[in-house]
């Protein structure tokens, strides 16, 4: 099985190479005629040029007259998807016409827009030509440099309303699936790092981690399926779930880096289920809290015995009961985690952002640090609550002290790498407040700042009180860790929305 996972690594490298020629951001560069133009004589074609090769999604290009009646037209690309030409069956004359277009970027996220122009038989004074107006779909993003003029109201038939409503559902399913898979990857990978580097506890704790890892694997698979269904629908002719099952939609999706990312997630999900087995490693002698302890370990089987009897917060027989987690298949597990974290590089705006080397380093660093922080905090909360429900001492002081060092490093790396990515993705600082992507980034930063403050409060105020038997430090730590874990889930949701937001 290790050979199967190693064989998937070339797919990751190939996808990086596939994405490297993309422009900084996928956007509409030129439209002929332009939005708001007034033209003399018949119009035989409408030409759209993008910053990179794109793929039509949903209805693709939909031409209609001023009354909302569809105008028959065909479309083709003379240069492999960078330029798209819409040909009306009959030349357009005398009236106002609207072209609604939807084209997927190399990261598979749709860019949509509307171009409205007027054709007059008598010579007309040419008005100013505006930059094409790009309007955001529920799950799309707007190209940079778009005009701020809103598109004209659109009249649609009842059947079109039904299709639009289902397309909104498609966007919701895609966002939910992405949130589920993102969260499960961070929780599974970060939980493993926490268990293998920080956790010192009982065999029951090891079983909790195993359940945590395998549940994460199932969640990654479910989220990837939802993403696949949503993206296939977006690439289909009608943009609906039913039309997403077509071979043409799946073939179009397969040409994007996101398809390789989904493949890595499916492989990683299977890897967590197959290689997520952990065994208990016995610690010889009492484990000392702090960096100067150097325990020796020996593998012992994980049994179904109850948790150790605790005396004053420590096991009655620490040499026999206190254990650490150890991976049964460490190499396979390491490859699995690498594939899962690497799938983030094939989704979102980082696919179309250059320079690629800087983006890959920043994104991978950001993802690893976020996994250590998010997964560690949530697994710490699960273990503390589980021990409290079992009626045994939580050992909160020891786990909090041991986790404080990697958590602090993860917070710092997350902030530095995240700021680096924002500088690479944003064209102008004003986009932080003028685009949906920038606004969601500010929301995410605010949530992360609150989580960091809660962690700082734990480290400076709560942890020092844990040795004071008269204080209620244990209960307070459990409460603040649970609050921190809930805020982490909100951060993950903001991240999933951020991936689909405009830049």
Q: Is the pLDDT of residue 486 over 50?
A: yes
Question: Could you tell me if 445 and 490 are in contact, meaning their C-beta atoms sit under 8 angstroms apart?
Answer: no
Identify the CA nearest to 277 among candidates 341, 218, 192, 202.
192
Q: What is the dihedral of CA 269, 272, 275, 281, to 10 degrees?
A: 180
Left (φ > 0), alpha (ψ -120 to 50) or beta: where does 391 sit? left
In a domain, 147, yes or no: no
Which pLDDT score is estimated for 295? Answer: 37
Q: Decide if 91 is inside a domain.
A: no
Q: What is the pLDDT of residues 149-193, one digit of tens each?
A: 333 334 344 445 455 666 678 888 988 998 899 889 988 998 888
Query: Domain residues for 460?
Result: 166-500
Judge contact between 241 and 419, C-beta under 8 A: no
**Listed residue (426, 423, 420, 421) closest to 438, CA to CA:** 426
Number of CB atoms found within 10 A of residue 38's CB = 16
Look up tokens 């993003």; give the residue. Answer: 141
CA–CA separation, 398 and 131 (whole Å): 61
Residue 99 lies in a domain: no
Instruction: Kindly report, residue by residue over 269-311, the tens digit of the pLDDT.
Output: 999 988 878 888 876 544 444 333 333 333 333 333 333 444 4
Percent of the chain residues topping a pLDDT of 90: 20
Amino acid 77: pLDDT: 93
Q: Which residues contact 428 (CB under 8 A, 6 or more apart)?
A: none
On whether residue 477 sits in a domain, the answer given is yes
Residue 99 has pLDDT above 90, yes or no: yes
Encode pLDDT of 100-109 as tens digits.
Answer: 998 887 777 7
Contact 360, 345 (CB under 8 A): yes
CA–CA distance, 263 with 269 (Å, rounded to integer)? 10
256 in a domain, yes or no?
yes
pLDDT band, very low/low/confident/very high, at 112 (cuts 50, 70, 90): confident
Question: Does 422 fall in a domain?
Answer: yes
pLDDT of residue 501: 61
Specify the number of domains making up the chain: 1
Instruction: Say if 40 falls within a structural domain.
Output: no
Q: Locate tokens 């479910």: which residue?
A: 222
pLDDT band at 223 (very low <50, low <70, confident <90, very high): very high
Give the whole-angstrom CA distance, residue 317 versus residue 219. Answer: 38
């Amino acid at each position: 099985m290790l050979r199967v996972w190693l064989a998937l690594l070339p797919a990751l490298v190939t996808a990086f190479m596939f994405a490297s020629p993309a422009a900084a951001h996928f956007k509409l560069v030129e439209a002929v005629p332009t939005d708001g133009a007034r033209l003399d004589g018949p119009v035989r074609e409408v030409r759209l040029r993008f910053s990179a090769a794109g793929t039509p999604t949903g209805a693709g290009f939909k031409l209609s007259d001023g009354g909302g009646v569809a105008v028959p037209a065909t479309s083709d690309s003379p240069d492999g998807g960078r330029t798209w030409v819409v040909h009306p069956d009959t030349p357009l004359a005398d009236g106002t016409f609207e072209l609604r277009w939807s084209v997927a970027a190399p990261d598979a996220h749709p860019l949509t827009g509307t171009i409205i122009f007027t054709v007059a038989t008598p010579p007309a004074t040419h008005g100013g030509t505006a930059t094409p107006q790009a309007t955001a779909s529920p799950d799309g993003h707007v190209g940079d440099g778009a005009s701020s003029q809103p598109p004209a109201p659109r009249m649609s038939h009842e059947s079109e309303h039904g299709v639009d409503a289902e397309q909104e559902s498609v966007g919701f399913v895609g966002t939910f699936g992405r949130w589920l898979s993102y969260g499960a990857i961070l929780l599974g990978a970060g939980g493993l790092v926490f268990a293998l580097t920080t956790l010192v506890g009982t065999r029951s704790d090891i079983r909790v981690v195993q359940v945590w890892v395998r549940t994460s694997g199932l969640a990654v698979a479910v989220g990837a399926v939802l993403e696949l269904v949503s993206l296939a629908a977006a690439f289909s002719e009608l943009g609906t779930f039913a039309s997403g099952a077509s071979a043409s939609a799946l073939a179009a999706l397969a040409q994007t880096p996101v398809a390789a990312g989904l493949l890595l997630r499916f492989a990683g999900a299977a890897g967590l289920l197959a290689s997520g087995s952990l065994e208990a490693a016995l610690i010889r002698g009492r484990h000392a809290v702090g960096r100067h302890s150097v325990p020796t370990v020996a593998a012992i089987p994980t049994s179904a015995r109850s948790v150790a009897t605790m005396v004053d917060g420590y096991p009655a027989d620490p040499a026999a009961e206190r254990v650490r987690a150890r991976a049964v298949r460490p190499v396979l597990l390491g490859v699995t985690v690498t594939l899962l974290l690497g799938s983030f590089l094939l989704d979102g705006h980082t696919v179309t952002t250059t320079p690629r080397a800087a983006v890959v380093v920043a994104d991978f660093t950001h993802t690893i640090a976020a996994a250590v922080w998010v997964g560690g905090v949530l697994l710490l909360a699960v273990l503390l609550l589980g021990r409290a429900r079992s009626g045994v001492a939580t050992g909160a002081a020891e786990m909090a002290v041991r986790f404080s060092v990697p958590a602090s490093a993860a917070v710092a790396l997350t902030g530095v790498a995240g700021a680096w990515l924002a500088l690479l993705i944003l064209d102008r600082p004003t986009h932080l407040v003028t685009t949906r992507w920038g606004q969601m980034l500010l929301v995410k930063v605010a949530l992360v700042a609150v989580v960091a403050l809660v962690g700082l409060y734990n480290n400076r105020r709560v942890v020092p009180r844990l040795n004071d038997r008269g204080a209620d430090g244990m209960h307070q730590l459990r409460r603040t860790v649970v609050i921190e874990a809930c805020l982490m889930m909100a951060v993950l949701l903001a991240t999933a929305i951020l991936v689909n937001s405009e830049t």
